[in-house]
C-alpha cells in the first residue's frame, strides 16, 4: 500500500512540473543573467535533495520490512550489532555533512556571481508605494530626467542598476525570469542588478506583504535591443503628445479641470501632481493600475469609473464623471503614447 503511494509520486511530479515551466513570471523560464545562474543552482540542489530523499525512503522501507529473526521485545542489546549500526549512522551523518558543505560553498559562489558589475551600467530608480511602482530615469542633464510608472524598459545585454527605495511600507521587487528579489525598505536604500539576455516582456510582482492590494502590485520589465531602447527613452523624454482631435482635447480639459491633475502629472500640461503615477505616456504603457488591465481605452474608462471595485482599498478615489467626460478622458489618456 505504502509502496504504491511512494511509487506514484515520482511519476506524477514531472508532468506537474512541466505544466508551468514557461511563463513571463517564472523562476524556471529564465532570461536574465542572474536568474539563469539561480536556475542552475536550483536544479542542482533540488536534484541532489530528491536523491537524498529517495535514499532515506529506501532505508525506511527496508527498515520496516526487511526479514528479521528476532523475538518480540529486545531489552538487552547485542553490542556487535549496536556497533555496526553506529558505524552506519555515522557514515550517513558524514555524508550529510559533506552534502551541505558543498551546498554552502556553491551558494556562496553563486551569490558572488550575482553581483553583476561594469562601467556600462544604466541606473534606474524604482520607488515602491502602496500599490504601484514609480520609475525614474536619469540622463546626462537634469532636464533629461523623466518619470514613468509600473513599467521599466531596459536594454538587452547591459547591466542595469536598480536603486530601490521604499516610500511607505516594505515592498519587494521580484521579476523571477530576470533575477531574485530585493526588498524596498523605508529608510534603507537597496540596489538590485539585473541584466536581460533576451528581448521580451517580463512580469514581476511585489513580494512583500504591503497591505490591502499587495496582490495587485505588478510591474513589467521590457527588455529591448539598444536602438529600440534609445528610441523609447527619447520619446519618453518628450512632453505629452498633443492632438487636434475634438474628443481628445475635450478629455484634456476634463483632466485638467477635475481632481485628476491634483494627483497625476502630465508633462507639457499644467498637471503636476506627484501623489499618483506619472501619466505623460500612459497610452504607450502595456498595462494600467500596476498590472491590472491591458491599456485600452475601455480599460482606462473602467478603471477611472470605479477604481474601488477593481482594486478595493487603493488610493485612487472614485471621481464622479458623467459619461461624456468619461469617454473623452479615456480617449485623451489612450492618446498619450
Partner 1 sequence: MRGGDGKRNNHDTDLGRPALETALAETWKTPSSLWGALATVDHKIIGRRYIVTAFVFLALGGILAVLMRLQLAQPEARLLGPDRYNQIFTMHGANMMFLFAVPVMEAMAVYLVPLMVGTRNIAFPRLNAFSYWIFLAGGALLWISFALDMGPDVGWFAYVPLSGPQFGSGKRADIWAQMITFTEVSALAVSVEIVVTIFKQRAPGMSLDRIPLFVWSMLITSFIIIMAMPAIMIASTSLILDRLVGTHFFNPAEGGDVLLWQHLFWFFGHPEVYIIFLPAVGMVSIMVATFARRPVFGYLALVMALIATGILAFGLWVHHMFVTGLPRLGESFFTASSMAIAIPAGIQIFCWLATLWDGKPVFKTPLLFVIGFIVTFVIGGLTGVMVASVPFDTQVHDTYFVVAHFHYVLIGGAVFPLVGAIYYWFPKMTGRMMSEDLGKWAFWLIFIGFNLTFFPMHILGLQGMPRRIYTYQPDMPWHGLNMFVSVSAVVLVAGFLVFFIDAIRSVRRGPPAGDNPWDAPTLEWATSSPPPSYNFARIPVVDGADPLWEQREILAVAAGLRTDRRELIITTVGAAKPEAREASPRNSIWPFWAALATSLMLIWSIFTPWAVVWGSIPVAITLIGWFWPKGTPEDEL
Partner 2 sequence: MRISLVFLSVAVATAGCQREERQLRLDPPVAAALDNIALMPNGISGAPPEAYFALDKPYESNAYNLNQGKRLYSWFGCKACHADGQGGIGPAFLDGWWNYGPEMVSVFASIRDGRPHGMPAFRDKMTTEQIWQLAGYVRTIGAYSAKTAAPSRNDAKHTRPSENRAPAALLFDQGPTPVHPDQGPTP
Interface residues toward partner 2, by CB under 8 A: 186, 212, 257-259, 261-263, 275, 306, 308-309, 312-313, 315, 317-320
Q: Which is nearer to partner 2, 192 or 326 (CB)?
A: 326
In the bound state with partner 2, the residue whose beta carbon lies nearer, of 245 and 324, is: 324
123 binds, among partner 2, partner 1, none (CB under 5 to 8 A by kind): none
Residue closer to partner 1 (CB basis): 81 or 337: 81
One character per residue 223-262, x = contact with partner 1 (rule: CB under 8 A): ----------------------------------------
For residue 119 the three cell numbers come to: 562601467
Contact between 317 and partner 1 per CB under 8 A? no
Cβ neighbors of 272 (< 8 A, separation 6 or more) are 261, 265
Choosing among partner 2, partner 1, none, which partner's interface includes residue 315 (Cβ < 5 to 8 Å by kind)?
partner 2
**b/e sequence 280-302, b meaning 16+ C-beta within 10 Å:** bbbbbbebbbbbbeebebebbbb
Least Å from the CB of residue 311 to partner 2? 9
Angle, helix 2-19 to helix 33-65, in steps of 10 degrees: 170
**Cβ atoms of residues 219 and 164 within 8 Å:** no
3-state secondary structure of 266: coil
Task: Tell me how far, at minimum, the Cβ of 188 lies from partner 2, in Å.
Answer: 13
Q: Least distance (Å) from partner 1 to the CB of residue 221?
A: 13
Q: Using CB atoms within 10 A of its CB, is residue 84 exposed (0-12), middle (13-18) or buried (19+)?
A: exposed
Across 45-143, the runs of DSSP E, i.e. the strands, are 122-129, 132-137
**Angle of CA points 323, 287, 180, to nearest 5°:** 155
- Give dist(CA 223, CA 226) in Å, integer: 9
Please state the closest distance from residue 275 (CB atom) to partner 2, in A.
Answer: 4
Q: Is 325 in the site for partner 1 (CB under 8 A)?
A: no
Nearest approach in angstroms of CB 320 to partner 2 is 6
Check binding of 210 to partner 1 (CB under 8 A). yes
Binding residues for partner 1, total number by CB under 8 A: 96
The verdict on 98 binding partner 1 (CB under 8 A) reads no
Among 3, 10, 47, 92, binds partner 1 (CB under 8 A): 92
Residues sharing a CB contact under 8 Å with residue 190, sequence separation 6 or more, in sequence order: 163, 164, 182, 183, 184
Name which position in 10, 83, 97, 246 contacts partner 1 (CB under 8 A): 97
Amino acid at each position: 500500500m505504502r509502496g504504491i503511494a511512494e511509487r506514484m509520486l515520482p511519476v506524477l511530479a514531472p508532468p506537474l512540473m512541466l505544466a508551468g515551466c514557461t511563463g513571463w513570471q517564472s523562476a524556471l523560464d529564465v532570461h536574465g543573467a542572474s536568474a539563469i545562474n539561480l536556475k542552475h543552482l536550483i536544479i542542482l540542489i533540488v536534484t541532489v535533495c530528491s536523491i537524498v530523499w529517495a535514499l532515506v525512503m529506501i532505508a525506511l522501507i527496508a527498515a520496516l520490512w526487511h526479514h528479521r529473526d528476532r523475538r518480540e521485545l529486545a531489552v538487552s542489546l547485542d553490542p556487535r550489532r549496536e556497533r555496526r549500526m553506529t558505524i552506519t549512522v555515522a557514515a550517513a551523518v558524514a555524508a550529510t555533512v559533506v552534502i551541505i558543505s558543498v551546498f554552502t560553498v556553491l551558494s556562496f559562489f553563486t551569490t558572488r556571481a550575482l553581483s553583476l558589475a561594469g562601467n556600462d551600467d544604466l541606473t534606474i530608480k524604482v520607488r515602491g508605494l502602496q500599490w504601484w511602482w514609480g520609475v525614474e530615469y536619469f540622463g546626462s542633464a537634469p532636464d533629461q530626467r523623466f518619470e514613468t510608472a509600473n513599467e521599466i524598459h531596459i536594454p538587452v545585454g547591459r547591466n542595469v542598476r536598480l536603486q530601490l527605495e521604499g516610500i511607505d511600507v516594505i515592498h519587494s521587487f521580484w521579476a523571477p525570469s530576470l533575477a531574485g528579489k530585493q526588498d524596498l525598505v523605508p529608510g534603507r536604500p537597496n540596489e538590485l542588478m539585473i541584466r536581460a539576455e533576451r528581448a521580451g516582456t517580463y512580469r514581476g510582482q511585489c513580494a512583500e506583504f504591503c497591505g490591502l492590494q499587495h496582490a495587485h502590485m505588478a510591474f513589467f520589465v521590457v527588455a529591448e535591443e539598444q536602438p529600440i531602447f534609445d528610441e523609447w527613452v527619447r520619446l519618453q523624454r518628450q512632453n505629452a503628445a498633443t492632438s487636434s482631435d475634438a474628443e481628445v482635447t475635450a478629455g484634456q480639459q476634463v483632466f485638467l479641470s477635475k481632481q485628476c491633475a491634483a494627483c497625476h502629472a502630465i508633462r507639457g500640461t499644467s498637471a503636476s501632481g506627484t501623489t499618483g503615477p506619472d501619466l505623460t505616456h500612459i497610452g504607450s504603457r502595456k498595462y494600467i493600475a500596476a498590472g491590472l488591465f491591458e491599456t485600452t481605452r475601455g480599460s482606462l474608462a473602467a478603471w477611472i469609473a470605479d477604481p474601488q471595485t477593481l482594486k478595493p482599498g487603493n488610493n485612487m478615489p472614485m471621481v464622479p464623471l458623467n459619461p461624456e467626460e468619461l469617454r473623452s478622458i479615456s480617449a485623451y489618456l489612450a492618446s498619450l503614447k
